Structure 1
């Protein structure tokens, strides 16, 4: 799992659109905090998109197995019986 909390800060240089930067400053935005939060969200989004792409074959194989064989231990389930056991009839 991606965890970015409690990591030390590191100075960096960014090239930003001057009009956006001016507007952000006029609004009193904390640029470092804003960029840090948005970049962390984008890194997480791309990480999980990459994971999903790399894992798609395994996920498809698992889903095919469940469709064919049903859910593991389905006979012990005490909830959602009306939904069946995961097998396609």
Structure 2
């Protein structure tokens, strides 16, 4: 999935020397690879934050289903 280009800001990174050497030997674009990794880390952090923020609601919903079953269960074909 290609994300629309946004303005870039030069950033200094510290990377494992061996990994950096190997990435360069394969022609890996370090800026693109770093941005993809940071994007993935942000998505994971957002998902974890959402789960923490909504834990009580999810627990409450699960308890209701445990006690009453699924609301439309009789219409499930499986």
Give the shorter-chain TM-score range: 0.7 to 0.9
How far off is 1:26 after superposition? 2.4
How far off is 1:57 after superposition? 0.8
Q: What TM-score do the two structures reach when normalised by structure 2?
A: 0.80
Change (3 A) 1:11 1:46: same
The residue that corresponds to 2:53 in the other structure is: 54
Change (3 A) 1:28 1:68: same
The residue that corresponds to 1:79 in the other structure is: 77
The structure with more radius of gyration = 1
Mapped to 1, the partners of 2:62 and 2:76 lie a distance apart of 22
The structure, 1 or 2, with the larger RCO (C-alpha pairs under 8 Å, 6+ apart) is 1
* CA-atom RMSD in angstroms: 1.9
Q: Mark the runs of 5 or more structure 2 residues left unpaired by the alignment.
A: none
Q: What TM-score do the two structures reach when normalised by structure 1?
A: 0.71
Mapped to 1, the partners of 2:47 and 2:62 lie a distance apart of 19
Q: Mark the runs of 5 or more structure 1 residues left unpaired by the alignment.
A: 81-89
Runs of 4+ residues over 6 Å off in structure 1: none
1:35 counterpart = 2:34:
yes
